Chains A and B, each alone.
Chain A
Amino acid sequence: MNLFLDAFAWLADPANWVGSGSIPQRLAEHLRYTGLAVLVASLIAVPLGWWIGHTGRGRELVVGLTGAARALPSFGLLFLFVMVAGVLQREPASVVVLMLLAVPPILAGAYAGFEVIDRRIIDAARAMGMTEWQILWKVEVPLGLPLLFGGLRSGVLQVVATAVLISYIGLGGLGYDIVQGIELRRFDQMLGSAILIIALALLLDAAFALLERWAVPRGVRAGRLPEPRTAPTGRRATAESPATTEREEKN
């Protein structure tokens, strides 16, 4: 357990909190790579997923893509992209890889969010005279939001985990201290940054779990009960509703 004391001492050392290569700077780098990758991935995957969910066209694409993405070793892809793009372009190349990793779970979340909506609700909306555009924004998007956040959650976690590895190709981020610590056999530094990374992953996961819960529309929370007579309370219906997503990507 002594090693852990050393690790916490390293974390608490004020010298590691200021200047270049300090913990806040590494954290900022890590969050920047993650945020950028997830943002670009969302810009591609969310409209595409919604389109597939709304029209029902191209479902095989989602299934195939999520399956194939699981088999691809992201660690290897990172090296592959950086080598093809050239070392000078390693930063954009890494962000592209991180983005590619985030696309399948976000796409699946956006699509599945629409897919699980009771068709009768859509039919009712259409019967009331809503245009397709109104159905999309007023019915499908709000109802699909929890699952979309679920997809974003797996995407973000995947990217945060893989962003640890980009320090191996000479970029920053929280993984830098681990990779450097391994090379220099500095256990306090290695362990300290590992603890930091785990804390970051857990925090982000918790934040998205809250978002998923918050995104369930109030009407659904109160009203969507499969069997009104037997279902106990609205709160329980929330826990059982689409908030549970597939989380099968991992790094």
Chain B
Amino acid sequence: MTWVLNNLGLILELTLEHIRLSILPIVLGFLIAIPLGWVAYRYRLTRGLILTLVGLLYTIPSLALFVILPPLLGIGFLSEANVIIALTIYAVAIMARSVADALASVDPDVRQAATAVGYSSWGRFWGVDFPLAGPVLLAGLRVVAVSTVSLLTVGIVVGVQSLGYLFTNGYERGILASVLTGVVMTVLVALLFDRVLVLLGRLLMPWTRTRTAPLAKGAAA
């Protein structure tokens, strides 16, 4: 406990850094996954292709990806961009499948009705399909957020500061409190992201508020 009190500044700084570095991959992953997931949902041929590809990307162990990306993209080995791009790849890998599932979850009758009342396909996608796919999208995004926060800790091995610093530094110096604090704070940051996403979902999808919450959860499986 004394260690925590003496290092409050460091813990706070690393937590903020962790939050900052997690946001970009989550947002980017979501944005990139929308067109990818749509293509996967829309055509049978691309569905197999895209879902297999993201499945393979997801299979790559994180440390190996952190090492292999810099020479592949010509970026600095110790740069933040390296870790952000790697985490974005994982986010896309999870989210693309989620988007495809989410779009498939929209009632075809509703889709036809929208077309019948004169929606263009572009307008229908954003005005009807996308919002109705919201609950499943949200479930996928929650998985992305929690996994990104947890994975970011590995970035410390290639020198990117995050709560992972508390693991490696604590281990090297034999401070159990540091490692424990790191684990607890990582879980707390993950929970924070999860709560924020749920609140955002309630805010943006008021129609889901009256229904029972577990609906979105079940649909994600």
In the complex, which of the residues A79, A157, A202, A249 contacts B170, with contact meaning CB atoms closer than 8 Å?
Answer: A79
CB-CB contacts below 8 Å: A52-66 with B:
none
In the complex, which of the residues B90, B158, B164, B191 contacts A76, with contact meaning CB atoms closer than 8 Å?
Answer: B164
Q: Does the CB pair B157–A168 fall under 8 Å? A: yes
Q: Mark A193-211, 1 if CB is under 8 A from B, else 0.
A: 0110110011001000000
CA distance A79 to B187 in the complex (A): 15
Beyond A160-B61, A161-B61, A201-B61, whether A70 also contacts B150 by CB under 8 A is yes
Q: Mark B54-68, 1 if CB is under 8 A from A, else 0.
A: 011011111111011
State the main secondary structure of chain A at its contact with B.
helix
A169 (CB) vs chain B CBs: closest residue:
B171
B177 to chain A, nearest CB (A): 10
What total of A-B pairs shows CB separation below 8 Å?
A: 132
CA distance A79 to B176 in the complex (A): 9
CB-CB contacts below 8 Å: A97-131 with B:
none
Interface size in chain B (residues, C-beta < 8 A): 44
Q: Does the CB pair B183–A72 fall under 8 Å? A: yes
* Chain A residues near B164 (CB-CB < 8 A): 73, 75-76
CA distance A201 to B166 in the complex (A): 28
B144 (CB) vs chain A CBs: closest residue:
A248
Beyond A73-B183, A75-B167, A76-B183, whether A182 also contacts B157 by CB under 8 A is yes
Q: Mark A59-94, 1 if CB is under 8 A from B, else 0.
A: 000000000001111111101101110000000000
Q: Is B153 interfacial (CB-CB < 8 Å)?
A: yes
B150 to chain A, nearest CB (A): 5
